[in-house]
Structure 1
Amino acid sequence: MHCFKFPAGLCQEINGDLARFWWANQENDHKIHWRSWDKLDMRKENGSLGFRDLLDFNLALLGKQCWRLINNPDSLWARFLKARYFPNSDFWNAELPHNDVIVPTRPLSANTPIFVEEIMNKLERSWDLSRVSLFLDQETIRCILSLPIGISSLPDRWIWPWTSNGEYSVKSAYHITHSMANSRIVGPPQTSHVVSTQVWKGLWKLKSLPKIKFFCWRILSNAIATKPNLFKRKIGQSPVCPVCENNEESVEHLFLLCPWTAAVWFGSPLNYRVHNQSITTFDNRLNSMFQLNLTSSLDKNRLMTIISFLLWEICKARCKFVIEGRQLHPIPVLHQAMRAANEFIEANVSQSTHSDYVTLISTRAWTPPSDGSVK
């Protein structure tokens, strides 16, 4: 991929194989793709998983070789390519024979000016686009006019504008190429609600098991097998919650609003009391939990860990109720979540902070009232 341009069809086929493996984990095992591929290959802070689209990644890797070629023209490999492909011109005017499949068989530049100085008024330090305005769109013209013209007498050098040091990087080139490709794809939005970048960044900073972190991503992306999601795909017979049988089993209802789930949150160290009127979307409620007044960032990390394990155990208990017919009891679910959270903390935090964490859990945990009394 560093040296050859892959066919678009091959890249799409490999992308499809990656998506099938991600959702199914086994060959020839067809599972539901809860999110389309174009929603998985964006930036993580935009709600994606950070996969690479191979077509755009291939172009970014080839761009690295072009950058090396124009910045190191005296190197052995650069002189070899020049002698082979453009002995009487430069890289930007290289035109390959039709039987060469390394790069497209056309000049890298057309009849537009090669040098920036040809569209620059050095006396007035301004741009003169009269010669090229007919060949450029308005957005490109606006970008050119916004560039300041320096007064330095130093020789010009190549600058990559999307990195702080001006050096080309495959990562920055990929994101630029991919964002430009996605901007050309126009389609109706799948939902009117967009999860904020702050919530996504908080998710990827979450200190928890990788499988639980991915599970939390699925919750925020509404990519789990709730009754409404199955009903939309003509798999389930009803979108109603199988536990309370009163409301549609949305993500908010499953993890917050269902009566037995609300009891789990109230009994947790958060002592969180769920109010139906205050619940808008799950990510907004989760963000409000993160904004609780805590004494240190360490407490915030602990809180996020507890929340993630609570969500995991709530979903496990719900699935056992639906599939195996087991009864739902908030207290065993709460105890299992806290036990798993404590085990994770013991394995991942230092001894100095672990004792404080155990004290925090023991002092804030809810206990049921004794028989014959009201709490």
Structure 2
Amino acid sequence: MRRALGTPSTEKLGTYLGCNVEVDGRSSQVFNSLIEKVQNKVNSWKNVTLSQAGRLLLVNGILAALCTNILSVFLVPKQVKKKIDSLLCRYWWKGNCDTKGICWRKRKLLEKPKNQGGVGLRSIENFNKALLVKQAHRIHNNGQLLIAKIYKAKYKGSPVDCGLEDRISSTSSWGFRGLAKCVRDCKEGFGKIIGSGDSIIIGEDNWLLDRKPIFKTQESLTSLKTRPVRDLFITGSRVWNNRLVWESFSTESARAILSMHIPTNIGEDRRTWMRSESGEATAKSVYDYIQGLKAEHGSVDQTHSFWKHLWGMQILPKWKVFLWKVCNRALALNINLCKRGIQVERRCHLCGMADEDERHLFRDCMIAKHVWRAGDLGLVLEEVESLDIQTWIKNYFHYLWKEEGPNSPRAICMVITLWSIWLHRNAVVFKSNTTNPASIMGIIHQMKKDNDLGSNIRCELAKLARAKKQDHPNPVALIKGVFNYTGTRLMVDGAWKKKKNGDSVAAIGWVINHDQNVIAKGGGRIRAVSGLQAEGYAILRGLKEANKCGCRQITTLSDSRTICKLLQEGKDGPIEIASILSEIIAFAGSFDFCSIVNVSRDRVRPAHDLAYIARKHGMVD
């Protein structure tokens, strides 16, 4: 056959779409092309002048994406991932991979999320896991796929089933093993949606929002831990056994259980990813979950609110990175260089009177004091000299944010002043400029102009985005049946508020109109663990009331954009509303025509008022 077709002879199958077909996990050499690909791309940028904020975008957006086709198929050996992580880290600090340079802080700190004190540098190891979990969940949810059928026939289940049930055979393929192992590592991120309740184990599976139930006594733990959730139903019905639930679980868990919706139509219990709004395992949600696990086992920066506000400020990205470096002692100052064994003059380049570190250069230096006193902030710094520079910056920013909001003009002025001192210091060191406070004031003036220009551009872009959003009609989330306008509309809304004692109170309201005449209306309190769940209950209850009134064609108005989007895309959503959405879709099919439309709050004001009254006072007539 080969001779007849004239095809060449080879001992290997080669690659398909960039992936090596014959991967068995025994050697890392087949993945060396990933390292070469990243290194070649970095070398092509070595003559491009970029700030570290710009390099961060390239690392997270382009360099990590170069490997996506491999990372989403195979579990790459740790040795290869560490090498790529090292290249990315070196490029971020140095701008190239030819020389090592100085990495001022550990890579683990850089890889932390921004609100935890890091810069959000992409970790290839965690990114690999996130892509594989996403792939495994997609295969699990789409049983009609050829690969899903093959896996089910060969391994008696999807990668999600085998990973969560710890049924990973050493004889399975490297691809399947990688998918299942990553799912197993993210086990606590998966949960189950109540259907029949037969396969959900009360004390072992995740079926409540965020946590497993907490048992009240050791006796209840022993008797219920390994039993299915259906044993918490009243025998022969689809209703919670209130007495059993309150007797067996803590108050918080009992409230959460009684808030969970039990679908009327008995179906199979379904697996879902609990860490995203859609219920789907997206790469971002899985990556954030893995990073969160590392934070739980490591040291978490207790000033995370400072970092959250800092990265959210409307200022130049390079200023944010600069301030991060100041607070983490990651600047190439004389004292820091000496600690790294580099022999330089320790004295301050501006005043020559003390050792140059962050505290001296930006605050205690005579030149810096003149600038702070003469600037718009008018700061006199003698009283805060006992504080280290990091504490002083964080305390002052917290004060300004509290007084003036997240984009405080004085906070922005403080950032500009720190940045201007740094620019002037570098001009003195590398350009042999003369030390002059007036030069720093000139830089501050120019930086303010640049920032104002950037603010104006951002405002114009925001206006265009709002105008574009207003031009779009209200999205229709769900349509069932054939449209024949009858003028019947259902307005629904939910109200939810958390109390100081940890409990919450929720209510729903609905109004059915026909040609501007009210046919029926009502409201009442319900159990719900979130405002989103209350909105879901409101839609379901409203449809049931419309059915009781004999409505066969109905247009439902809701102000919940999240629920309407989930219905439109056909996704499960968070675990507390997944079964509610399924029943809404099923019940909507009982009408001749039913649509659900997302509208503004004013369009559902009558239902909102009823829900508010019900939340405050109870039932509504």
Please give the TM-score of this superposition, normalised by the length of structure 2.
Answer: 0.46
CA distance in 2 between counterparts of 1:318 and 1:89 reads: 57
- Please state if 1:104 is matched with 2:217: no
Structure 1 counterpart of 2:91, one-letter code: F
From 201, 226, 230, the counterpart of 1:117: 201
Per-residue CA shift, 1:273-293, capped at 9, x if unaligned? 212545513233224443249
- Please state if 1:178 is matched with 2:262: no
CA distance in 1 between counterparts of 2:420 and 2:445 reads: 10
* Counterparts in 2 of 1:175 and 1:295: CA distance versus 1, 3 Å: closer
For residue 67 of structure 1, what is the aligned residue in structure 2? 137
For residue 344 of structure 1, what is the aligned residue in structure 2? 451
Per-residue CA shift, 1:91-118, capped at 9, x if unaligned? 4266556372114389878xxxx95438
Name which of structure 1's ranges 163-172 and 12-21 shifts more when overlaid on structure 2.
Answer: 163-172
Per-residue CA shift, 1:158-190, capped at 9, x if unaligned? 2433345544333232233234346667xxx8x
From 65, 68, 86, the counterpart of 1:16: 86
CA distance in 1 between counterparts of 2:401 and 2:314 reads: 19
CA distance in 1 between counterparts of 2:127 and 2:430 reads: 42
For residue 74 of structure 2, what is the aligned residue in structure 1? 4
Count of equivalent residues? 328
From 356, 366, 369, the counterpart of 1:259: 366
Per-residue CA shift, 1:191-244, capped at 9, x if unaligned? xx9672232123212333222222122111110011221111111345443433
CA distance in 1 between counterparts of 2:123 and 2:158 reads: 36
Structure 1 counterpart of 2:101, one-letter code: K
For residue 309 of structure 2, what is the aligned residue in structure 1? 202
For residue 53 of structure 1, what is the aligned residue in structure 2? 123
- Pairs within 5 Å for 1:34-45: 34-45=104-115
CA distance in 2 between counterparts of 1:231 and 1:168 reads: 47
CA distance in 2 between counterparts of 1:350 and 1:307 reads: 22
CA distance in 2 between counterparts of 1:24 and 1:228 reads: 20
- Please state if 1:285 is matched with 2:392: yes
Q: Percent identity?
A: 23
Per-residue CA shift, 1:114-136, capped at 9, x if unaligned? 9543868xxx995448999xxxx
- Please state if 1:306 is matched with 2:397: no
CA distance in 1 between counterparts of 2:321 and 2:374 reads: 25
* Counterparts in 2 of 1:309 and 1:184: CA distance versus 1, 3 Å: closer
* Counterparts in 2 of 1:30 and 1:276: CA distance versus 1, 3 Å: farther
Query: Which consecutive residues of structure 1, in runs of 5 or more, have no partner in the other structure?
Result: 133-143, 354-375
Give the C-alpha shift of residue 260 in structure 1.
Answer: 0.5
CA distance in 2 between counterparts of 1:83 and 1:100 reads: 14
Contact 1:6/1:58 (8 A) holds in 2:
yes
* Counterparts in 2 of 1:50 and 1:128: CA distance versus 1, 3 Å: same
CA distance in 2 between counterparts of 1:282 and 1:314 reads: 14
CA distance in 1 between counterparts of 2:124 and 2:323 reads: 26
Describe the SS at the equivalent of 1:219.
helix
Contact 2:160/2:180 (8 A) holds in 1:
no
Give the structure with the higher percent strand.
2
Structure 2 counterpart of 1:160, one-letter code: W
Give the C-alpha shift of residue 53 in structure 1.
Answer: 1.4
* Counterparts in 2 of 1:101 and 1:127: CA distance versus 1, 3 Å: same
- Pairs within 5 Å for 1:216-295: 216-237=323-344, 239-290=346-397, 291-292=399-400
Structure 1 counterpart of 2:284, one-letter code: K
CA distance in 2 between counterparts of 1:350 and 1:89 reads: 48
For residue 135 of structure 1, what is the aligned residue in structure 2? none
* Counterparts in 2 of 1:106 and 1:174: CA distance versus 1, 3 Å: closer
CA distance in 2 between counterparts of 1:283 and 1:262 reads: 17
CA distance in 1 between counterparts of 2:450 and 2:401 reads: 25
* Counterparts in 2 of 1:75 and 1:324: CA distance versus 1, 3 Å: closer
* Counterparts in 2 of 1:322 and 1:208: CA distance versus 1, 3 Å: same
Give the C-alpha shift of residue 63 in structure 1.
Answer: 1.2
- Please state if 1:162 is matched with 2:235: no
Give the C-alpha shift of residue 65 in structure 1.
Answer: 2.2
For residue 137 of structure 1, what is the aligned residue in structure 2? none
Give the C-alpha shift of residue 45 in structure 1.
Answer: 0.8
Superposition misfits of 4+ residues, deviation over 6 angstroms: 87-90, 105-109, 129-132, 144-147, 350-353
Structure 2 counterpart of 1:61, one-letter code: L
- Please state if 1:83 is matched with 2:153: yes
Give the C-alpha shift of residue 253 in structure 1.
Answer: 1.3
CA distance in 2 between counterparts of 1:286 and 1:24 reads: 27
CA distance in 2 between counterparts of 1:352 and 1:78 reads: 48
* Counterparts in 2 of 1:237 and 1:195: CA distance versus 1, 3 Å: farther
Please give the TM-score of this superposition, normalised by the length of structure 1.
Answer: 0.73
- Please state if 1:327 is matched with 2:426: no
* Counterparts in 2 of 1:129 and 1:21: CA distance versus 1, 3 Å: farther
CA distance in 1 between counterparts of 2:135 and 2:84 reads: 23
CA distance in 2 between counterparts of 1:313 and 1:294 reads: 25
CA distance in 1 between counterparts of 2:408 and 2:200 reads: 51
CA distance in 2 between counterparts of 1:282 and 1:159 reads: 46
Describe the SS at the equivalent of 2:273.
coil
* Counterparts in 2 of 1:129 and 1:25: CA distance versus 1, 3 Å: farther
Contact 1:95/1:105 (8 A) holds in 2:
no
Name which of structure 1's ranges 1-10 and 85-94 shifts more when overlaid on structure 2.
Answer: 85-94
CA distance in 2 between counterparts of 1:80 and 1:244 reads: 73
Structure 1 counterpart of 2:282, one-letter code: S
Give the C-alpha shift of residue 332 in structure 1.
Answer: 1.8
Name which of structure 1's ranges 287-296 and 222-231 shifts more when overlaid on structure 2.
Answer: 287-296
